[in-house]
Amino acid sequence: MTTSVDHEGFNTFDCLTWAAIVYETPVKDTDGDGLLDAWETATAAAPVKDPYGQDLPYLGDMLAKKDHKDVFIEIGYMKTDVPTSYGGGAAKDPHSHLPTPAAIKLMGDAFKNAPVANPDGTNGIRLHVDVGNLEEYQTGEASQYIVPAALARGGEALDESITTAGCARVRASTACGRASSRSIRHGGLEVRLPLHQRRGDWHDGRVPCPAPAGQPGGRRPL
Ligand SMILES: [Ca+2]
Ligand SMILES: [Ca+2]
């Protein structure tokens, strides 16, 4: 591809400078849902690969169709299995923020009944929700909208009680002498933090916090 810029249509004394170059490549998306036909027909038996040679998700095996609009949602969520206090208030009962099967069914039905035309001659949008391999979702009332367990990658839970259980030292991993990430570890889970948190600072997974009694270190604003 060759590009050029000239003064045609402008004063010859204009100073022309590249600000942006935008290329557009026509792609085939028969149903216009933003998922290319090639992606929607990709299966484990006939995969489509990314530039690094890795298989893209097998949307065809997840029952996507190239002539019917689909939308995919992967859910990660927070939960606590123990009474948990937030901001120093009274403890809340154990709970989960994962939408129930009934809630997912309501959402799936709404998409299904949407007055949206498709090339296959039917209306509606098919919802595909990835919540992992949770049995009550795979076989329950929302199962028609759930990505099959064998193909699911979602459903990761973050224990929110660990973010209120106290502070931990900020850790850093390094590459070529420069920090490439910051994290703390609570209860076996690693929580990623903004890079500007310094190694050795104290953090509770949400905000910086004072060092516990008898420990060096201190607060650093976000
Ligand atoms: Ca499509
Ligand atoms: Ca589709």
Contacts by 95-102 with C-beta closer than 8 Å and gap 24+? Answer: 96/157, 98/131, 98/155, 98/157, 99/75, 101/136, 101/137, 101/140, 101/141, 101/142, 101/143, 102/141, 102/142
d(CA 45, CA 35): 19
Residues 135 and 92 in one domain: yes
| Last residue in a domain, options 132, 159, 186 | 159
Closest residue by Cα to residue 61 from 43, 47, 48, 35: 43
What's the structural domain count of the chain?
2
| pLDDT of the residue at 214 | 63
Question: What are the residues facing 130 on neighbouring strands?
Answer: 74
DSSP 151-163: G-----EEEGGGG
| Last residue in a domain, options 117, 143, 159 | 159
pLDDT in tens, the chain (222 residues): 787 777 777 776 677 777 888 888 889 999 999 999 999 999 999 999 999 999 999 999 999 999 999 999 999 999 999 888 877 778 889 999 999 999 999 999 999 999 999 999 999 999 999 999 999 999 999 999 999 999 999 999 988 887 545 667 777 655 444 555 677 766 556 677 766 677 777 776 666 776 766 666 654 443
Residues 60 and 115 in one domain: yes
Q: Give the ligand whose atoms come closest to the C-alpha of residue 68.
A: 2
Supply the range of the domain harboring residue 198.
167-222
Residues by chain with Cβ below 5 Å of ion ligand 2: 31, 33, 40, 70
How far does residue 125's CA lie from ligand 1's centre (Å)? 11
Residues 48 and 136 in one domain: yes
How far does residue 127's CA lie from ligand 2's centre (Å)? 10
How far does residue 145's CA lie from ligand 1's centre (Å)? 18
How far does residue 116's CA lie from ligand 2's centre (Å)? 12
| pLDDT of the residue at 177 | 44
Residues 151 and 175 in one domain: no
Residues 149 and 192 in one domain: no
By DSSP bridging, strand 126-130 and strand 70-74 are parallel
Q: Is residue 110 part of a domain?
A: yes
| Last residue in a domain, options 111, 129, 159 | 159
* Contact yes or no for 101/141 (Cβ under 8 A): yes
| pLDDT of the residue at 86 | 79
How far does residue 49's CA lie from ligand 1's centre (Å)? 17
Q: Is residue 9 part of a domain?
A: no
Closest residue by Cα to residue 162 from 182, 185, 183: 185
| pLDDT of the residue at 221 | 41
How far does residue 68's CA lie from ligand 2's centre (Å)? 4
How far does residue 118's CA lie from ligand 2's centre (Å)? 9
**Helical segments of 65-165, H only:** 101-112, 135-139
| pLDDT of the residue at 176 | 46
Residues 114 and 62 in one domain: yes
Q: Is residue 7 part of a domain?
A: no
Residues 142 and 176 in one domain: no
How far does residue 129's CA lie from ligand 1's centre (Å)? 17
Two tokens, residue 133: 């391999």
Residues 98 and 79 in one domain: yes
SS3 23: coil
| pLDDT of the residue at 205 | 67
Two tokens, residue 96: 């989960």
Count the neighbouring beta carbons within 10 Å of the beta carbon of residue 78. Answer: 14
Q: Is residue 54 part of a domain?
A: yes
How far does residue 72's CA lie from ligand 2's centre (Å)? 10
d(CA 99, CA 121): 31
* Contact yes or no for 171/199 (Cβ under 8 A): yes
